[in-house]
Amino acid sequence: MAAVLTPQKGAGCLMTVVGPSGVGKDTLIAEAQKALGDRPDIFFVRRTITRPADAGGEEHDAVDEATFRQQLAAGAFAVAWRAHELSYGIPSQARDHVAAGGLAIVNGSRHALPHIAAAFPVLHVVEITADSAILARRLASRGRESAEMIEARLGRTPPSAAIGQPTTVIDNSGDLSVATERLLALISSLRPAC
């Protein structure tokens, strides 16, 4: 399931942060929100996910599948998709914020990028990467997957983030502050342009 609802052109833009599990997307977005969260022109998007609220990872609005489908039918999402047996939705407030000229920042999905690009004509993709040994350690520390599952996950060839949209790659293998500074610099460079 992937749904795109009412694409709109506005003066703002969406920044979607993508990358494999364990790469640190949630952490980097949280660090940027700490630094910029009081700015009304920047909206840090909280996704709706059919995953329990206490499952760890990003803060999200947790709903069951039936509620998600009701919200989808009611137009609550700018974009919705399924991945890893879960449903994900970017709330329509993100589209409204962008249409009003703001910058919205969301933890996205490489698989959903074509749908996200269709809903948000002005889009900048941030692809977070990290060394595979570091990813393996981070995934193991979460305790959600067995060693075999982690090995299988790391063996997958990830889809390219490139979809004809501007893309910035940030390596998060080292000190978190370095990757955070790169993300903040990118946000600062994008903000006047959108």
Q: Cα angle at 163 between 178 and 35, to 5 degrees?
A: 30
Q: For residue 155, what pLDDT is reported?
A: 59
Q: Which of 110, 114, 105, 140 is nearest to 7 (CA)?
A: 114
Q: Give the CA diameter of the chain.
A: 46
Residue 172 has pLDDT above 80, yes or no: yes
**Percent of the chain as helix, strand, coil, to the nearest 5:** 40, 25, 40
Q: Which domains does the chain have, with CATH numbers?
A: 10-44+93-193 (3.40.50.300)
Distance, C-alpha 63 to centroid of its chain: 18
Higher pLDDT, 146 or 190: 190
Could you tell me where the beta strands, DSSP code E, fall in 32-84?
Answer: 42-44, 48-49, 61-62, 77-83
Handedness of CA 96, 97, 100, 105 (dihedral sign): negative
pLDDT digits (tens, 9 = 90+) for 19-67: 887 788 999 999 999 999 789 999 999 999 998 877 766 788 899 999 9
pLDDT digits (tens, 9 = 90+) for 71-105: 999 999 999 999 888 999 999 999 999 999 999 99
CB crowding 164-187: b at 16 or more within 10 Å, else e: ebebbebebeeeeeebbebbeebb
Q: Is 138 helix (H, G, I), strand (E, B) or coil?
A: helix
Pairwise CA distance, residues 122 & 65, whole Å = 30
175 Cβ neighbours under 8 A, 6+ residues apart: none
Average pLDDT (123-138) is 84
